[in-house]
Amino acid sequence: MSNYRVEKYTKQHRLGWDTFIAGAKNATFLFARDFMEYHSDRFTDYSLLVYKDDVLYAVLPANIVGDKLYSHKGLTYGSLVLSKSAKLLYTLEAFKALLSFLNTNAISTLELRNIPTFYNTMPSDELSYFLFKANATLIKRDALMVIDIPNKIKFQKNRREGINKAKRNGLCVEVDTNFEGFWKQILIPNLQKKHGIAPVHSLEEIQMLAAKFPDNIKQVNVYKDNVIVAGTTVFLTKTTIHPQYVSGNSDKNAFGSLDLAYDYIINHFDSSKRYFDFNISSEQNGKALNSGLIFWKESCGARTYVADNYLIDTGCYKTLDLHIL
């Protein structure tokens, strides 16, 4: 009979955590401690480690607010991260041990934000099955637009016309380190003017993260006559290309700068990646769809995945069992 135990993350776990993340079947660099802790002043970390017979079996990147635990709200996605050797029935016991630990420590509910499946390097839907068995409440479902690169659909005519327009106007694309030009001249002014907000990451934070994760964070800029006119900050995982930030100046439609940028990053990085993630196209907790975003992304060949958020009562560990034949 296997023995499971749960520990709350401390700095003493750092090396073991990062080593586990590097080899897990459903992890990305966002779960590395250097990434998770860049905004540690904004969240009360309550990440957990689950051991099976004294071997680290699973981790949960998480933060706590009152008596409620969240898949870390400082990350785009989260949920239970599993080793490559994880098996369904063992994972059930690990998950029950985690819920029992939370319940014993007076944490009443757990809000889980499932990792979109295309980020996984191996099948990893164990938790989705357990959430179904536990009668967890689906509280949010977002629609994500994604390109399956080996089976990608050709850009539609309007997107190809944009690319040709950019080339006729002499625009060029470069992978460089000019985060400052993109942030100060393009991204920050556009977000402030359109939405009255600032980027989630400050310029200093993105520069620091790019220095720590040079293989995972790239800046791609579009120039006209050596002047920056558009750009995208790209996050690269083992499976996926994800433009974290994308923006262009007021001439982006006239010059086709964003069409050129997307065409470049889809094709420049695709030799080692399977998917291109345009991010969500739903709003209001998934209740509404942004038709303009969907039209634009689908014209680039993207199609739909979903990302789910669940709420679970930690006390359900007492009755969470599978009917096994």
Task: Write the pLDDT tens digit of every residue in 74-126.
Answer: 999 989 999 999 999 999 999 999 999 999 999 999 999 999 999 999 999 99
Q: What is the mean pLDDT of the chain?
A: 94
The CATH code that applies to domain 154-268 is 3.40.630.30
Residue with tokens 């400050």: 202
Please report which confidence band the pLDDT of residue 325 belongs to, taking 50, 70 and 90 as the band edges: low
The CATH code that applies to domain 4-141+308-318 is 3.40.630.30
- Average pLDDT of span 220-236: 96
**Least confident stretch, 49-58, 59-68, 112-121, 243-252:** 243-252
pLDDT at residue 202 in the model: 94
Closest C-alpha among 90, 95, 78, 81 to residue 132: 95
pLDDT at residue 314 in the model: 97
- Average pLDDT of span 9-23: 98
Give yes or no for residue 275 having a pLDDT over 90.
Answer: yes
Q: Which residues contact 174 (CB under 8 A, 6 or more apart)?
A: 220, 221, 223
Give yes or no for residue 59 having a pLDDT over 90.
Answer: yes
Task: Write the pLDDT tens digit of every residue in 181-210.
Answer: 999 999 999 999 988 999 999 999 999 999
Please report which confidence band the pLDDT of residue 21 belongs to, taking 50, 70 and 90 as the band edges: very high
Please report which confidence band the pLDDT of residue 1 belongs to, taking 50, 70 and 90 as the band edges: low
301: region left, alpha or beta (phi > 0 left; psi from -120 to 50 alpha): left
- Average pLDDT of span 132-138: 95
Higher pLDDT, 256 or 44: 44
53: region left, alpha or beta (phi > 0 left; psi from -120 to 50 alpha): left
Please report which confidence band the pLDDT of residue 2 belongs to, taking 50, 70 and 90 as the band edges: confident
Which amino acid makes up residue 199? P
Tell me, letter by letter, the H, E, C secondary structure of 46-97: CCEEEEECCEEEEEECEEEECCEEEECCCCCCCCCEECCCCCHHHHHHHHHH
Residue ranges of the chain assigned to CATH 3.40.630.30: 4-141+308-318, 154-268
